[in-house]
Amino acid sequence: MEALLRFGESIVALIIGLAIGAVILYYAGYSPWEAYYQLFYNAVLDKYGFARSLAEAAPLILTGITFAVGVRAGLFNIGAEGQLYFGALGAAIVAWLAYRMPVLNSPLGTIAAYALGVILASLLALIAAVLKVWRGVHEVVSTIMLNWIAFWIVEFMRIHYLFDPHDATKTIPVPPGARLPILLPDSELSATIIVSVGFALLTYYLLWYTVTGYELRASGLSPKAARYAGMDPNKSIIIAFIVGGVAAGLAGAGEVLGRPPHYAITSGLSNLLNMGFDGITVALIGANHPIGVIFAGILLGVLKSGASYMQIFAGVPLEMVRIIEGIIVIALAVPGTLHMVREYLQRRKKLTQLREQEAGKSHGFEGSGLQPSGAQQQ
């Protein structure tokens, strides 16, 4: 019930965000109708456009999970960005190895790439976890620093070891045999979306159907109650960081293994940039619930791919979509405001009811109220 309400609120926020965006588009001299038509027609209704939306959504769902699981454990883990870089690094290392070891030019290579990416990303997440548990370092500080460390390590590796001899602006691409299968021929959509949705569902199961998830959520809501119940909140913190690291690692490795045309890390990590931070938006829109995160991820994927269509066909600059995205996130705070207005109106209504009730009594509303009166059920 509450989840449904929360979903409704997200829809309302989306509509408000689009409406305000329309006003801005209008005053910037564009036709909002044309812009939105191009955005949604191409990104949702067109087969190839929607495939691209899902391809965009795939990593965002996973980084959304990273943040959402953190929140459930009481953390503000914004390390998905760096962990995603490390996930991509793992896959790029396997791609580099595959040129020396042909056996990796196969699904074995895919698995190896995912595995190494996940391990590297989790280890990076584990640094923040250990700092938090042992030394009380706040995760916002540690993860933001680790994001930069990860960025430059991956850049260093790309420039000095993993570069493609034919095109030094990227790493050696994943050999064809190890790439993820494309789901729709001639589109960008590969099996990454299956990995993403699958992992989100797995996280949902973990959080709500296992003792580990129960402890994680309880620790996040009340560490004191968790200790009272014989749990170790620190264990939950470490688990949340690792699950988040695995998710971000899958996202990063997936971008290298299953994202045409590069199948590699490009210069300045330009094909990975901001995917981790966008996960925070996704988690917020999805109410930090794995199922909500799937839908929120797809929504953001649609906006992202739609933005380029909007640019091509309606002439609206790409930045416009970022503005609309931002407004949607802000509008998510609006349900809170609506809530307050609703409460105020309810209070007024209750007051008039109360006046009528009390007026019906013998002593009246302003009476002395001396005799005990029957208690009203609230």
Residues that bind other proteins (CB under 8 A): 209-212, 214-215, 217-218, 221-222, 224-225, 227-231, 340, 343-344, 346-347, 350-351, 354-355, 358, 365-373, 375-376, 378
- The answer to whether the bond into 261 is cis (omega within 30° of 0) is yes
Burial class (CB in 10 A: 0-12, 13-18, 19+), 45: exposed
Kindly state the smallest distance separating residue 351's Cβ from other proteins, in Å: 6
Of 160, 139, 164, which Cα lies nearest the Cα of 73?
A: 139
Kindly state the smallest distance separating residue 61's Cβ from other proteins, in Å: 23
Of 294, 322, 325, which Cα lies nearest the Cα of 16?
A: 325
CB of 44 or CB of 291, closer to other proteins: 291
Kindly state the smallest distance separating residue 336's Cβ from other proteins, in Å: 12
CB of 6 or CB of 155, closer to other proteins: 6
In the chain, the amino acid numbered 356 is E
CB of 54 or CB of 218, closer to other proteins: 218
Distance CA 67, CA 248 (A): 10
Distance CA 35, CA 86 (A): 37
DSSP states of 83-126: HHHHHHHHHHHHHHHHTT-GGGSSHHHHHHHHHHHHHHHHHHHH
Kindly state the smallest distance separating residue 11's Cβ from other proteins, in Å: 23
Kindly state the smallest distance separating residue 224's Cβ from other proteins, in Å: 5
Of 110, 142, 115, 116, which Cα lies nearest the Cα of 127?
A: 142
CB of 176 or CB of 352, closer to other proteins: 352
CB of 148 or CB of 344, closer to other proteins: 344
